[in-house]
Amino acid sequence: MNSNRYYTSIIVRVIFITLTALLLAFVSFKTNYLYSIFVLIIIEILQTWGLIRHIMRRRNDLKRMLEYIKENNPSLYFSKSRDYPFNELGDFLNEIGGIVRQVRIEKESQLQYMNYIVKHVGIGLLSFDQDGNVEIINQAAKDLLGLRELNSISSLEGVLHGLPETLKKLIAEEQKVIALKSGNRLQQLAIRVSSFKIGQKEIRLVSFQDIKNELDEKEMDSWQKLIRVLTHEIINSVTPVTSLTTTISGFFRKGKKILPAKDISDETISEALTGLSYIEERGKSLIDFVSKFRSLTKLPSPKFEEISLNKLFDGIILLKKDELASSGIKLVCFSPEEKLNLFCDRSLIEHVMLNLINNASDAILSKNNDGERIIEIRGTVGENGHPRVEVRDNGIGISNTIMENVFIPFFTTKENGSGIGLSLSRQIMKLHGGTITVFSKPGFETVFSLIF
């Protein structure tokens, strides 16, 4: 009904405008009716203005509704009490308004929920935009950084020199550990950064976690394992030496008296010399053990140079390919498609790779299978954009029970192994700012990864 009245009103107005225009045209031919012509022109203008105003009023209603939607105004509602012709459109707009209100309520609820989580989570969280303005900081982050409030990350310069620049330049998903003193307490903070965009703003989300207790526990665990190995090796050497010394001493004593030379037989002297040679052998073994231990703590300083990964691989193949082939082992290198350079001490990294290849060769020969024997060396780019070298073999593998011990000094499963190769390799990688990791599926494959 409202629509019919609206359209009828427009039609009537158009008819009156048309009739007025026709009358004006007729009167215009009568030069004596100037006053009438003027009146009709005024009437024509008023009628036209009335029609435009009538249409514009309805247009403004629609515009106001759309503006409310654009502004996400929760109070938007189109009243049907007005003489609005498009009732179906009005119902549709009200339905949209209801959806907008519901979405806004849900959005606010989710925001409150997220704020609650951020506030109560135990890990410190801090987010800031490209200008360094802090968007969010929770209580855990304030406690770790020793702050009450933080509006800009530039203020973190007072907490630790260079910290704002570190947060800006840290690569996404890369972790960095910093030492931070808060009051009388030393903290080891693990920092991880994620980057994302909200609209036109680039946001960096930083997490802070104090891992000092974990590091202390791991350090203590490492020391305990090392002490066990040292104790085992020393006792194994000293115990038989002590026992044998007592035995040899008994050859030349009777009670507390020393036997005269004429009472000592050639057989006794021979047994004593045999025992002394064994003591000498164990003494040399213990000295060798100590020398190896010192080698772990006195590595030479790296002499860094930029070297192509392909060139490094070529040198490894030249050194090991023929030797491995004689044992029926195939050495294969997969170089990265793109040119990849390492900034390293070539001799030290070659030492690490040769040690890994030797271990891989021993693992393959220990498997005693008639299948293909193969060692693969592969160069790739890691997730953080840094070079990565993998040494893979299809040997016997490493069981889960000993996996965590393979990097402990002097731990070995080989009969004649020294147990320092992998420990030395990890030390060398640390000197290069990298690390070494291992993955193994017993009976199928083992992969050692050098991450620079």
Q: Give CA–CA dist 407/219, Å, rounded.
A: 13
pLDDT at 416: 62
N-terminal to C-terminal alpha carbon distance within the chain: 78
Q: CA-CA distance, 440 to 164, in Å (whole number)?
A: 40
Average pLDDT over residues 128-151: 86
Place of tokens 């220990």: 366
131 vs 156, 163, 188, 203, 295, CA distance in Å?
14, 15, 27, 10, 49
**Mean model confidence pLDDT for the chain:** 77
Q: For residue 450, give the nearest of 374, 305, 353, 331 by alpha carbon.
A: 353
Mean pLDDT for the stretch of residues 385-398 = 86
Angle at 230 between CA 229 and CA 235, to 5 degrees: 100
372-388 burial: b if 16+ Cβ within 10 Å, else e: ebbbbbbbeeeeeeebb
Element at 197 (helix H, strand E): strand 185-198
Q: CATH top-level class for 122-210?
A: alpha beta
What is the predicted pLDDT for the residue at 311? 85
Q: What strands lie across the sheet with 134-137, from one edge to the other?
A: 134-137, 124-128, 201-210, 185-198, 175-182
Please give the structure tokens belonging to residue 314. Answer: 């070529």
The H-or-E segment that residue 339 falls in is none
Question: What pLDDT digit, counting tens, does each position of 49-67 carry?
Answer: 888 887 777 666 667 666 6
Q: Which of 269, 267, 288 is nearest to 277 (CA)?
A: 269
- Give the pLDDT score at 392: 92
Query: What is the CA angle 380-384-388, rounded to 5?
Result: 25
Mean pLDDT score, 349-370:
83
- The two tokens of residue 446 are 């083992």
Percent of the chain with pLDDT over 90: 1
Q: What percent of the chain has pLDDT over 70?
A: 72
State pTM to two decimals: 0.46
Domain ranges of the chain: 2-101, 122-210, 216-297, 305-451
**What amino acid is encoded at 160 in this protein?**
L
Above 50 in pLDDT, residue 8?
yes
pLDDT over 80 (residue 118): no
- Asked if pLDDT for residue 3 goes beyond 60, the answer is no
pLDDT at position 81 is: 47
Mean pLDDT of 136-164: 85
**Band (294; pLDDT cuts 50, 70, 90):** low
Q: How far apart are CA 387 and CA 336, in angstroms?
A: 10
- List residues bridging with 171 in a β-sheet: none
pLDDT of 257: 79
* CA-derived radius of gyration, the chain: 43
Q: How many CB atoms lie within 10 A of CB 449?
A: 19
Say yes or no to pLDDT of 184 above 70. Answer: no
Note the pLDDT tens digit of each residue in 192-249: 888 878 777 888 888 888 876 666 666 566 666 666 666 666 666 676 677 777 777 7
- What class has domain 305-451? alpha beta
Calculate mean pLDDT across residues 321-342: 82
Q: Do domains 122-210 and 305-451 have the same CATH topology?
A: no
124 forms beta bridges with: 208
Q: What torsion do the CA atoms of 329, 449, 310, 169 make, to the nearest 10 degrees?
A: 180
Helical residues (DSSP H) of 337-449, grouped into ranges: 346-367, 400-403, 421-431
Q: So what's the pLDDT on residue 430?
A: 85
User: What confidence category does residue 109 fall into, taking pLDDT thresholds of 50, 70 and 90?
Assistant: confident
Residue 410 backbone phi and psi in degrees, to 5: 75, 5
d(CA 383, CA 387): 9
